[in-house]
Chain A
Amino acid sequence: MVLRGGHLCDPVQGWDGPADLYLRDGRVAAVLAPGAPPPAGQWRGWDASGFLVVPGPIDTLCACPAGGDPWREDLDSLSGAAAAGGYTALMVHTGSADPDRIGAVRGRAAGVRLHPVAALQRDGGLADLGLLQRAGAVAASDWPGQPVSPRLLRQALEYGAGVGLPVVAVAQDAELAGEGLAHEGPLAFALGLRGIPACAEEVAVARAAALQRSGGGRLHLAALSSSAGLEWLGAEVTAAVSAHHLLLTDAALRGYDTAAKLAPPLRGEADRAGLVAAVRAGLLFLASDHRPTAPEEKDGTFEAAACGASAVETALAAALEVLDPAAFVRACASGPAAAFGLPGGTLGVGAPADVAVFAPRSWRVDWAELRSRGRCTPLAGRRLAHRAVLTVVAGRVVYADAQTAFTEA
């Protein structure tokens, strides 16, 4: 297939302008100036003029759905939702230290690529990181699940380095966060909600970074909510932020909106602005932090509500509200691919044909229209200026927006 005339943005190749993108046999076959004579062969054309064409976005933080009941998220509904949001790959945090489970997620035939992330601990000790890596895990994580001790985190980093497995750590000190419900600040105080201090994150980031510095290994912090720990990031210590935290502040909690109950919590405007600046500077990756919830988990009081929201369908479009195309691609495609050694991240010739296309088409987020079975988003009612219209994984179209006319060119 050929995507003609789109605005192709690929910082790895230094491309940021109109181009024709040729895909064949699951790989990028050629990238040519618009209208240049095609390479030999038959090409099925898609008109992408006016659209943004980027290397397939990779989500670094996405909860592995438990499935079970038909109304709960499963890997199929997750994959479908992610494809509709423009994602071509998901790092699925399984919370499992069982290589068979990792292998099952890895081998799952789904629309988008599923990269399983294993649990780094089992029975209080180190999980079989080598076996998990061989089974297909791309990282080991303490998300979700029991917090790990600094000693265990250090061991995971050291051992993980030996078997080629990066460690993903939750950036929140559980004891400092306590039973907090919201960003510690004037709003939580006025609402009578127990606060989670920003230092709960800063301490966890600094501690994890110090452990990495001392013992080596690759460290990635799952999701930041505050700009306080940014100084600890570097080549071997990466971190991500969710699009929710780039667009929203704790003001979204007014009226006790349980959809805005997230972990880590939404914080104040200074943190939001600091995180946006950090993504623009290439310091942070973008994560969806997709954590679907069942309706009964969000129906009660703010205190009783579960943390999390459905995000794979909205995260990329939301990020485009505040990022230019180059920063966007670095944060959601080339950065994660390089940090975790994943296929993709660029559309250079020979790279996997994983592509996302975004149209400058304003839409209103409506929870009732989500494909995710979570149906809960703090962005509900908000207008976003971009929308994913075509998602291609290994040269195969896994999502094409029905309303967009890709006139065969």
Chain B
Amino acid sequence: MTAAVGGWTALQHLCDLDGWTASDLEGLLDTAESMAEILRRPIPRVPALRGRTVLLLFYEASTRTRHSFELACKALGADSLSLAAATSSAAKGESLLDTLRTARTLGADAVAMRHPDSGAAALAAAAGLLPVINAGDGAHAHPTQALADLFAVRRRLGRLADLRLTIVGDVLHSRVARSAAQGFRACGALVTLCGPPPLVPPHAGPALGARVEHDLARAVTGADVVMALRVQRERQEQGLVPGAADYRAGWGLDAQRLQSLCPQALVLHPGPVNRGVELSPEVLDLPQAVVGEQVTAGVAVRMAVLYRILESEGAEGA
């Protein structure tokens, strides 16, 4: 492959976007552009990672992220091995490391993993058994999703610096929000967090280097990008929000609100959408909704991440 891959340093693990600079991120997105070009070919395959095996280790249900990694592996000629692991709460960490040991013995070259506990990817990376790509750990991070969002937004708007991103919804429980806030901010965007105070507490601002604005109209007015986060029914049971109708009244995004407050703004949703709660159904059909492109972007950025990690692995081994 002759893609523009110069200028980046070897990537060992991708646990979160801590320490990533704008040029690191833009560089990875450039690699992802090359990958997207491959995906547009009649036969979207290159043998760049032929003979390499990626373990997809999912301790939490996922279809979209797992399929995205599978497609990324396939496009680069790598084999993927899916393992939906059941968690035993008694020995979560132990079984995780044991599984990685077994995977390495069986020839896996890297692992993309999702785990319900925050910090699980860092724990796996620290064990030094395999290169780790975090496909979501608890409420902590989901870096490849953030990269996909950055990719989709850069494509649409041509830049990331000085964009105004507003994230609306359950920031407290969202690994997507954390990684997106980190990634967009690193690229020079101004990030605003919005939602009911129990889901967007005051310390969310300093934690993520963002502005907190609980009023939806003020938060999205003038935004270039609005990201709507999923609100799970569970939060209602926990008493963090009174109910779907109440949430919708205060923080639900419908076409009318968006048209009047921020008609230009792109709308992102990490999905799956609770239609009628955080987004009204017609929003997904608006021209500024980037829901479909996020899926393609997801495969391209995961290809870029796999390529960088396994290429550098191979170079070290050679």
A binds B: yes
Binding site for B on A (CB under 8 A): 184-187, 189-194, 255-256, 296, 299-305
Give the chain B neighbours of A191 by CB distance below 8 A: 118-119, 140
Q: In the complex, are the beta carbons of B122 and A190 less than 8 A apart?
A: no
Q: A256-B118, A256-B123 are in contact. Are A303 and B138 (CB under 8 A)?
A: yes
Q: A192-B141, A192-B178, A303-B117 are in contact. Are A187 and B207 (CB under 8 A)?
A: yes
Question: Which of B94, B116, B118, B175 contacts A300 (CB under 8 A)?
Answer: B94
What separation, in Å, do the CA atoms of A300 and B175 have in the docked complex?
A: 20
Q: How far is the CB of B249 from chain A (nearest CB, A)?
A: 26
Q: How far is the CB of A107 from chain B (nearest CB, A)?
A: 36
Give the chain A neighbours of B175 by CB distance below 8 A: 192
Q: In the complex, are the beta carbons of A302 and B178 less than 8 A apart?
A: no
Q: How far is the CB of A76 from chain B (nearest CB, A)?
A: 29
Question: Which of B94, B117, B140, B204 contacts A296 (CB under 8 A)?
Answer: B94
Q: In the complex, are the beta carbons of B94 and A190 less than 8 A apart?
A: no
What separation, in Å, do the CA atoms of A301 and B208 have in the docked complex?
A: 22
Q: How far is the CB of B128 from chain A (nearest CB, A)?
A: 14
Q: In the complex, are the beta carbons of B119 and A299 less than 8 A apart?
A: no
What separation, in Å, do the CA atoms of A299 and B94 have in the docked complex?
A: 7
- Scan B128-148; emit 1 where CB is below 8 A from any A CB, else 0: 000000000111110000000
The contact sample of 29 A-B pairs, CB cut-off 8 A, is A184-B201, A187-B207, A189-B201, A190-B207, A191-B119, A192-B118, A192-B137, A192-B138, A192-B139, A192-B140, A193-B139, A296-B94, A299-B93, A299-B94, A300-B93, A300-B96, A300-B123, A301-B92, A301-B96, A301-B115, A301-B117, A301-B118, A302-B117, A303-B92, A303-B117, A303-B118, A303-B138, A304-B91, A304-B93
Give the chain B neighbours of A296 by CB distance below 8 A: 91, 94
Interface centre among B93, B119, B137 (most CB of A within 10 A): B119
Q: Which 6 residue pairs of A and B lie closest in terms of their CB atoms, listed nearest first?
A: A300-B93, A192-B140, A192-B139, A256-B119, A192-B118, A189-B207
Q: How many A-B residue pairs have CB under 8 A?
A: 75
- Scan B268-287; emit 1 where CB is below 8 A from any A CB, else 0: 00000000000000000000
The chain A residue sitting closest to B171, CB to CB, is A189
What separation, in Å, do the CA atoms of A190 and B122 have in the docked complex?
A: 14
The chain B residue sitting closest to A178, CB to CB, is B238
What separation, in Å, do the CA atoms of A297 and B124 have in the docked complex?
A: 16
Interface centre among A187, A300, A305 (most CB of B within 10 A): A300
Q: How far is the CB of A285 from chain B (nearest CB, A)?
A: 31
**Residues in B100-116 with C-beta less than 8 Å from chain A:** 115-116
The chain A residue sitting closest to B118, CB to CB, is A192
**Residues in B193-235 with C-beta less than 8 Å from chain A:** 201, 203-204, 206-208
Q: In the complex, are the beta carbons of A301 and B93 less than 8 A apart?
A: yes
Q: In the complex, are the beta carbons of A193 and B94 less than 8 A apart?
A: no
Give the chain A neighbours of B208 by CB distance below 8 A: 189-190
Q: In the complex, are the beta carbons of A256 and B138 less than 8 A apart?
A: no
Give the chain B neighbours of A189 by CB distance below 8 A: 172, 201, 203-204, 207-208
Give the chain B neighbours of A187 by CB distance below 8 A: 207
The chain B residue sitting closest to A300, CB to CB, is B93
Question: Which of A185, A255, A300 contacts B92 (CB under 8 A)?
Answer: A300
What separation, in Å, do the CA atoms of A304 and B119 have in the docked complex?
A: 11
What separation, in Å, do the CA atoms of A94 and B97 have in the docked complex?
A: 34
What separation, in Å, do the CA atoms of A214 and B201 have in the docked complex?
A: 36
The chain A residue sitting closest to B120, CB to CB, is A301
The chain B residue sitting closest to A253, CB to CB, is B119
Question: Which of A184, A185, A193, A299 contacts B118 (CB under 8 A)?
Answer: A193
Give the chain B neighbours of A304 by CB distance below 8 A: 89, 91-93, 117
What separation, in Å, do the CA atoms of A192 and B140 have in the docked complex?
A: 4
Give the chain B neighbours of A194 by CB distance below 8 A: 139
The chain A residue sitting closest to B174, CB to CB, is A192
Give the chain B neighbours of A192 by CB distance below 8 A: 118-119, 137-141, 175, 178
What separation, in Å, do the CA atoms of A296 and B96 have in the docked complex?
A: 13
What separation, in Å, do the CA atoms of A190 and B92 have in the docked complex?
A: 22
What separation, in Å, do the CA atoms of A191 and B172 have in the docked complex?
A: 11
Q: How far is the CB of A266 from chain B (nearest CB, A)?
A: 16
Q: How far is the CB of B238 from chain A (nearest CB, A)?
A: 9
What separation, in Å, do the CA atoms of A302 and B116 have in the docked complex?
A: 11
The chain A residue sitting closest to B89, CB to CB, is A304
What separation, in Å, do the CA atoms of A364 and B203 have in the docked complex?
A: 35
Give the chain A neighbours of B139 by CB distance below 8 A: 192-194
Interface centre among A187, A190, A256 (most CB of B within 10 A): A190
Q: In the complex, are the beta carbons of B203 and A303 less than 8 A apart?
A: no
What separation, in Å, do the CA atoms of A194 and B119 have in the docked complex?
A: 12
Q: How far is the CB of A130 from chain B (nearest CB, A)?
A: 40
What separation, in Å, do the CA atoms of A185 and B208 have in the docked complex?
A: 12
What separation, in Å, do the CA atoms of A299 and B203 have in the docked complex?
A: 29
Q: How far is the CB of A176 from chain B (nearest CB, A)?
A: 12
The chain B residue sitting closest to A190, CB to CB, is B207
- Scan B65-106; emit 1 where CB is below 8 A from any A CB, else 0: 000000000000000000000000101111011000000000
What separation, in Å, do the CA atoms of A305 and B207 have in the docked complex?
A: 23
The chain A residue sitting closest to B92, CB to CB, is A304
